[in-house]
């Protein structure tokens, strides 16, 4: 038969079983509040380390010419105004509270069955997080989740993403096991 094209198709049983299992699993695991709660608790605990630094830690120190007491003008201004120059990122304490305490003013901590939002609504927080050029607010990131973590984060913060993914993974596996999947 000239010009005829013979068609062949294959169906791999494992592919069908895998797709079917994923569909059933998505119907069983519909509420992630348990792992989201664990992630939230881990977030606030590990954020506290940044706001307890008694020196620059891995942040850039105070830049500028030193004055008679060996401190920069910015440090002396902070000392005069607040009574301390370290820890960094702390002046009034509002940013620190909002990012280390889930119920503090300006804290964002919202957990639903399918979403988790954690952070701060402090307006100047975004400037500390931004890599944009700056003249006043220094680069002092305080939320570390991804690849930027090794630059400033403590070892506890650097492992966040893996821990958080494990919380979700363990929860899904336990839930599926309970349901016999």
Tell me whether residue 67 is exposed, middle or buried, using C-beta atoms within 10 angstroms of its C-beta: 0 to 12, 13 to 18, 19 or more: exposed
pLDDT band for position 147 (50/70/90)? Answer: low
Candidate ranges 87-96, 108-117, 142-151; pick with highest mean pLDDT? 108-117
> Strand locations in the chain, DSSP E?
107-111, 116-120
Residue 144 to residue 167: CA distance in whole angstroms = 18
Q: Please tell me what DSSP assigns to residue 88.
A: T
User: Closest Cα partner for 118 from 51, 43, 47, 38?
Assistant: 43
pLDDT digits (tens, 9 = 90+) for 122-146: 888 887 777 788 776 667 777 777 6
Residue 154 to residue 123: CA distance in whole angstroms = 25
């Amino acid at each position: 038969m000239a010009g005829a094209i013979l068609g062949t198709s294959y169906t791999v049983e494992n592919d069908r079983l895998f797709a079917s299992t994923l569909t059933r699993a998505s119907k069983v695991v519909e509420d992630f509040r348990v792992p989201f709660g664990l992630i939230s608790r881990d977030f606030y605990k590990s954020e506290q380390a940044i706001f307890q630094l008694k020196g620059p830690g891995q942040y850039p120190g105070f830049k500028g010419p030193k004055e008679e007491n060996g401190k920069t003008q910015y440090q002396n201004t902070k000392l005069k105004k607040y009574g301390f120059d370290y820890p960094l990122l702390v002046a009034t304490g509002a940013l620190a509270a909002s990012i280390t305490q889930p119920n503090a003013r300006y804290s964002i901590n919202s957990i639903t069955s399918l979403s988790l939002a954690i952070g701060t609504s402090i307006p100047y927080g975004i400037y500390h997080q931004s890599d944009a050029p700056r003249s006043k607010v220094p680069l002092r990131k305080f939320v570390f989740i991804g690849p930027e973590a090794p630059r400033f984060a403590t070892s506890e913060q650097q492992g966040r993403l893996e821990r958080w993914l494990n919380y979700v993974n363990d929860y899904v596996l336990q839930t599926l096991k309970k349901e016999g999947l």
